[in-house]
Every structure is written in C-alpha cells, then in structure tokens.
Amino acid sequence: MNRCCAVFVLLLGAPGVGLMGQTEGNIGGRVTDGATGEPVVGAIIEIDDRGARGLTDSTGVFLIRSVRPGRHRIGISAIGYRSVSRDSVLVESGRTVRLDVSLTRVAVPVRGVVVEAEPDPLLDPLVTQTVQRIRVEELRELPVSTLSEVVAIQGGVVGGSFRGGRVGQDVLIVDGLGLKNQFDAASGRFGLRIPAVAIQEASVITNAFSARYGRALSGVVTAVTKEGGDRLTGHMAVETDRPFPDGSDVGLDRLVALAGGPLFGSVRFLAAMDAQARIDDDPVNAPPPADSLDPRFERPWLLPNAAGERYDLLGKLTIPLGARQTLRVLGVVSESRRELFDPVLKYTTLPGNGEEVGGRLAMLHLERTSVPRSDHTLVIDARLGFFESEAARAPVLRHPRRRVGAFSFSGLEFAGMTIAKSQDTVRARDPIPGFTVPTFADATPWGVNAFFMTSSPRGELRWNRFREVRGRVDVLLGRGRVTDVRVGGEYARQWVDTFTRLAGFRAVDDGAPPATAASYGPSHAAGYVEWQQRASDLTVSAGLRVDAFGSGVADADGASGKLAASPRLAVSTALGSATVVASVGRFVQPPDLQYLVSAAFDDTLRTGRFRRGNPSLGFETSTQYELQARVRPSADIGFRAGVYVRRLEGLIASVPVGFDPDSAVFANGDFGTVKGVEIALEREYRDGFALRATYVLQQAQATATDARDLFRRLRISPTGDTIRPSETAFPLDFDRRHALSVTARARVPSRGGAVFAGTEAGAVVQWSSGLPFSLRDATGDSLIGLPNSQRLPSQFTVNVMLRRSIDIGATAVGVYLDVRNLTNRRNVVAVRRSSGQPDPTDAEIAGLVADAFEADPTPIPYESPRYRAWADADGDGLIAGMDELGPMYERAARDFTQPIFAYGIPRLLRFGVEIAF
C-alpha cells in the first residue's frame, strides 16, 4: 500500500491557503463608529467568551471562518468604545452570518447597537453546492425519529438511494469525519445511528460537494452533534403506542434522554440516549386474511415473532486547551436486534431467524485556530477515529424475555455463532449445533404436508465485522476576505472478517454448500487541495482530490492498489435578481468490500449460489454536471430550480462465468446516465408558519445491473460464437420518475390563554411514482421484456406531529402525538415478479396445488391428527384424491402466498410525554 501512503504525504504537504468546509459556517460583518460612520480598525471579535477570534481590518470589516454550527455568543470590543454582545447568533454550515455593528464611545452612557444584516442564504453566491439543510427545529417539530428518516424526506432521495444511484453511493460525515460501512454499504446496512436528539444540524448534499470528502458518488449526509453549554440543560421523553386501539398498537416503547453542561472547570459534556423496542418491528399494511383458521385472523396488524429493539448512546466532551485549541472526544454505540418473521415458520412455536447489527465510533478532534489577524486566518483540524460495525444472522435458540414493556435488555442467543466468529470452516463441515432439520409442520389448520416447515429450509449462518481506523488533517488558510484555500488528507486502515454457511442443518458431505470465510485488510488514502476566490458577486471554487485504494487480499492481481483523481469546479454569480450556479465534478468511491472475496448466498430460487470475488476491482466513478438558479420572489419566499446530468461508469456488476448462472464474478463495466430536474419552493419560518416543497423529475438508465439479466442479453450463434446484442437502455433499480415532498411547520401564538395557544404542528406529505421491476416467467428464470420495464404503483403518505408544551418556571412539560401514514393508505412496495401483482394468480395457486399433490398424494385417515372433517366430502373417514386433498392444498397455498410484505406501513400512532430544563 505504498502508493496510498505516498498520495497522503504528497498532498498533505502541498502548499495551500482555505475554503469553508461543509460542516462549518462563517461570521462576518463591519464595525463602524456610531457617531461618524467611520470604520473601527482593530476591533476584537470573541465567540463564546473564548478570547479574541478575529480583528477588523482597515475598512472595519471582519470575517471569522470555520465556526461550528449552532447558537453562539458574539462579543465585540475596541479601545475607547463600549463593548457590545449578541446572544444566540445562529451559525449554519456552509453559510456566512453577517453582523454589522455600530459602536459608541465610552463617554456616551448608552449601549452600542448591533444591526444584524444577515445575507440572504438563498442568493448568497458563496453557496455553490446543492444543499438541503435540516435544522434542529425540524428534527423536533417534524414527524421523524431518526436521521435516516429525515434524510428520506429530502428531494432526490428514495430508499437510501440518492439521485437514481445505487444504495451505498453516499457517505455520512459526523463532526467532519467521513464514515461508511464499506462492507455492507450496498445493502443499506450501516450499523451506527446518531441519536436525533443529539444533532445540532444536518444536511443532504447532492452536488458539488467539497473535495474534502470522498467515497461517495451520489450524495453526502452531514451531521454536527451538539455540545454542552455553560449551564446544565436536559430533555427526556417517553413514547408509546399502547393506549391506542387495535391496528395502531404494535407494542412500541421508546425512551429519549439528553443532558449537557459544564463538567468541571471549562470542560463541558453532552450525553444522549435513544432506545426503542417494538413487539412488531416490521409493521405492514397487508390485508387481513379471509380465512378464520389463519392465526392472523384475530390480530392481522401484528406479526408474531417479529420483535425488535435498538439502542443508541452518545457521549461527548469538549475540552478547551487555552484560547486557541479545543479537544473534542466523541463516542457513539448503537445496537439493534430483531426476530425475523418468516411465513414458512408460521405454524411453529419455535423461534426462527434473528439478526443483530451493532456499531461503535470513537473520535478525537483537535482544533487549533491562529492568533487573530485582519489579513488572514489559519485553522487546523486533526481527527482520529475508530469505527466498527458487526452484523450477524442465524437461527434464534429462544425468544428473549421482555422485562419492561417491549424491552428485553438482552441480546439474541444465536445457534452456531461461536463457529461463525471464529471462522472455523472445518467444524462448519458438520451440521451446526442448534440447527434443526426442517420438516413439514403437522400442526397447521390445513392438515397437509406442504409449504409450512418446522425450521428454515435455508439454514443460514452469517457473520461479518468491519473495522476501520481513520486519521485526517484539514488545514484552512484564509487570505483577507476574498481567498480561501483548504488542503488536507486522510489515511485509513480497514479490517474485514466474514463467514457464511448455508443449509447449516446438513453436513457438507451430505450436499450442503461449504462454508466461506475471509479476513483481509484493505487500505485507503486520499489528499485534496481546494481553492475559493470571491470577486464582488462572482465566486469560483475549484478542487482536486486524489484517492488511492488497496484491496489487501493476498496473492491477487492488482492488489498493489488503484489510483483515481477527482477534479471539481463550481462558479456562482448574481444574474439580475437571481443567483446562478454551474458546477462540474468527478466523484469516485472504492468498491464495496464484499465484492472482493468469494461468497455464497441464498435466494428464493436456489440454495447455495456463489459469486467469485475480484480483488482487482477499480473505482466506481460519477461525472456530474449541474446548472442551478436561485431567486427570491418576495421577502419570505425562495425558489430554486436546477437541471443535472450524471454519468455513472465502472459500476460493479455480477458477470456470469461460462453458461452456469450460479457461477459469476464481480467486475467493473456497468454504466448508466441519470438526468433530472429539481425544483424547490420554500417559505421561511415567519408569523408562525413555514413550508418547503421539492419536486424532482428524473430518468436513470443503465445497461445491466443484475448478473442474470446480463447473461440473458448474450446469444450464442450456431458456430459457437458469442453475439452481443445492440445496446438497450433500461431503468436503473432506483429510477423514481416523479417525486414530490412537502414539509410544513406551524405554531399557534402563545397569547390570551387560548386552548391551543403554543401548540406546534409539523407535517410531511410525500407522493412519488413507483420504482421499476422486472417481470419473469413462472420459473423465475426468464425475463419477460426488458429488465425493469414494469413499474410499481405510485406511493403516497402523510405524516403529522402535534405538540403542546407548558412552561413551569425554567422547566417545560409537554405532550405530543406522532402519526405516520395518517390516511392509512395501503402502499404497494413489492409485487410478484411473475404477475406484477401482490397476490398470486389463480393459475399460480393451481400450479402450487398440483405440485404439492404430486409430491404427497397420500390419503389422510380419520385416525390421523391431520384429518380435517370439512375436507372429507363423502364422509367416509378418509381424505383421498384430488377432489378432497385439493381443497386442503389450495387453502394452504393461499395462506402461504399471502403478500404480507408487499405493502408499506399502516397508520401508526405514537403518544409521548416530555420534559425539558
């Protein structure tokens, strides 16, 4: 990995001067004499009483760069003038807050006057990227519980995909450090969650994101965590759905807590917790069963054996080291576990499969600012982080015992996990202890041996662990008020361990697929330089990032590493009353690490499919062009419109080897194009009301995104030659053509003692066209038409939050109601690929019945526990033949094929009580 180290050292040592980072903001303005209007030279600007942070120049102007988002106390003083201060100045990432100050001389017994003339953030030409900002007020007032939920309501985001790209083409930036579970990224599994109550500000950036950040093709999600203040504050909320009637009660219990303040001396702390448990952790809006013998008939809204819990803990220390240095220590622990309901195990009392996913983050952040001068600023940030994510899936040996509500406060006990974590492929050749041989369940209402099993026929045992140590240094040098340059780099060493065993109830010698295991250590290095120049209303930003990646897999071609350069350029200017931004950039990400090594997996068609890993995989790339215009028709209305084109190249596809569809190798070569129009209209929060609406029209097309689809596009001529058909474009998996998202916040004025005075309301309305899917024949093997040539129905949801708080001295006590899917719309999120409908056709049911009868036509006598009187048509005490066994098989088949998971969530109600001090 010498190439990685060389890139890191070379670019880290490059000369540079600074650009405002996307997780910090600026404070600027002008200080003048209140009597004469003349500039005050050398005035001192302090932030949070931490000493001088900036000075005014010969024109009285100051600019303080790299200020953490949040509310700050700003103090301004000058010799011979009365000092002034302003509390709760809100700084947001990527923006400059303007404070114009008029000072009065000491001899005049009046206070100085601060005139806040904040520049319009919409029209500010310094903002060159497409940013959808998430403020702390929105996290509180909108019906969202997690950062991922609030990200999902932003324009251009669908199911964890950004602007038509694949899931996993994004990166999360937490307090300036990029995090990504690079092994499970493509599956959407991350493992780490920042408690929403601990987030000061978040944003979704879908274009022109800074060269500081890599490992992303489609988007960047930033989260800045809160810090403890000068006094002790806290917040606690208890949330449940237990009081609500059947259909809205899924056994939800949630506890949220936050506390922060001074610890000792100038050290401040912040602690946050978000814990949630549900008896049904995967609620669905499936139609109730029509047959009274179905176990879901009485309570169809509650899936059995589907309980889940998650725990998110965060702790943070802020330690000032003098006036110029600050050390921040951050720790986050996330754990989630759930039982996985399986329709195959519907009639067994034994637990089925379960899943646990955990994440841990530890980060040190040392920030050093230069001695304040009017001509330049120097800020150095050094970060060191350790991130770990671990995931396991296996049969659960026993149901966890609930101790408080839906909480068990204990992990799941898995079969075979000791073998998996030790990666013992020798012991795994024998049947895995704790796995049971699946047989047909006898205790079904239908009495036939078909469809329903006593244990999972997949018998899967999976475990993986991803660990990463990442260090990065960022240096910002600001020259005057018009030039910023930032230079920096990072180096990461990663460790990956995996284990997979299928059909664990059977020995390998008896035909079970052998276990696969891998341990390897990839590495990644990057360096960047970025420059921003301002001249009047024109801003030019340019950056170059170089990434190097090594697979770390031994004895593999290309294991020495890959290298990629990513230039980025953005220009913004005022054009009449509008601000116009044009940008172009190249973005790269290393391959998901699961693609580097061979692996076995299961699907609905076969047990024991294999894919060969490829350590020689290169970077996936995206070149994106965007033109955007921003205008403000009135004082409180903002409008933004833009068009973008993204060219995706080198995407990883599974390419068949030979003619066996179960033997394939991962390779670079897939490509696609995303074109879109994004329109946003926002009414800023004024007079107790705010509204934001985003509409996206998008087309995302590609060649092949599935190994079997690609295989079918090849034809063999009579001479034995491979004939490649002409290029055919078809939609990418996340091509959502139309998407409309509307968020609204309102507050009733607190006056007159009215019943609803002080009530807060938030709503999220979303409508979108359906995602594409591929029709296949009854066997599931052959495509009908082109890939992704069919569409799911459109989706529509309305979520609402109502909150009422009462101040009792310094304490606020409140209650709230959080309603998801208010209209209880039954959104279709999946269909049968053979019919395009959630329910099977009569022909499919008939085929299942015929196959089941052919497999077991044995008559059922009266003495058998499987005898059902309703099926004995002639009353002779023997159920025999298709005429009598057929109806039993048919009812069992219709029960088995219920499309439970084809629908989205039902209406869910949450009632909460909170207290803040």
pLDDT tens per residue across span 232-266: 999 999 999 988 887 788 999 999 999 999 999 89
* Cα–Cα dist 311/508, whole Å: 38
Instruction: Indicate whether 712 pLDDT > 70.
Output: no
Instruction: Indicate whether 23 pLDDT > 80.
Output: no
* Cα–Cα dist 829/824, whole Å: 14
* Cα–Cα dist 461/500, whole Å: 6
Take residue 772 and report the two structure tokens written for it.
């594409």
Instruction: Indicate whether 330 pLDDT > 60.
Output: yes
| 19-41 mean pLDDT | 77
Instruction: Indicate whether 11 pLDDT > 70.
Output: no
* Cα–Cα dist 285/283, whole Å: 7
Instruction: Indicate whether 60 pLDDT > 60.
Output: yes
pLDDT value of position 707: 40
pLDDT value of position 856: 92
Instruction: Indicate whether 661 pLDDT > 60.
Output: no
Take residue 769 and report the two structure tokens written for it.
């066209």
> Best-predicted range by mean pLDDT among 364-368, 371-375, 756-760?
364-368
Instruction: Indicate whether 1 pLDDT > 80.
Output: no
DSSP state of 244: S
Instruction: Indicate whether 601 pLDDT > 60.
Output: no
pLDDT value of position 2: 47
pLDDT band at 575 (very low <50, low <70, confident <90, very high): confident
Instruction: Indicate whether 8 pLDDT > 60.
Output: no
pLDDT value of position 5: 46
pLDDT band at 121 (very low <50, low <70, confident <90, very high): low
| 306-321 mean pLDDT | 95
Instruction: Indicate whether 716 pLDDT > 70.
Output: no
Q: Name beta bridge partners: 707.
A: none
Q: What angle do CA 909, 152, 474 make, to 5 degrees?
A: 130
Sign, CA dihedral 396-399-402-405, equals positive
| 739-750 mean pLDDT | 91
Of 497-501, 653-657, 888-892, the range with the lowest mean pLDDT is 653-657
User: Chain centroid to CA 502: how far?
Assistant: 29
| 164-187 mean pLDDT | 90
pLDDT band at 99 (very low <50, low <70, confident <90, very high): confident
pLDDT value of position 714: 45
The closest alpha carbon to 853, from 841, 840, 835, 871, belongs to 871
pLDDT band at 600 (very low <50, low <70, confident <90, very high): low
Average pLDDT, the chain: 85
pLDDT value of position 731: 86
- Residue count of the chain, please give it: 917
Sign, CA dihedral 716-718-720-725, equals negative
pLDDT band at 722 (very low <50, low <70, confident <90, very high): low
| 706-734 mean pLDDT | 56
Of 693-707, 786-800, 807-821, the range with the lowest mean pLDDT is 693-707
Q: How far is CA 71 from CA 17, 112, 233, 326, 760, in A?
A: 27, 21, 15, 17, 22
- Helix, coil or strand: residue 25: strand
For 528, counting Cβ atoms within 10 Å of its Cβ (0-12 exposed, 13-18 middle, 19+ buried), the class is: buried
- pLDDT above 90: percentage of residues in the chain: 50
Instruction: Indicate whether 859 pLDDT > 90.
Output: yes
pLDDT tens per residue across span 513-532: 899 899 999 999 999 999 98
| 545-558 mean pLDDT | 78
Residue with tokens 């295991």: 517
Of 81-95, 184-198, 631-645, the range with the lowest mean pLDDT is 81-95
| 276-299 mean pLDDT | 89
The residue with greater pLDDT, 164 or 334, is 334
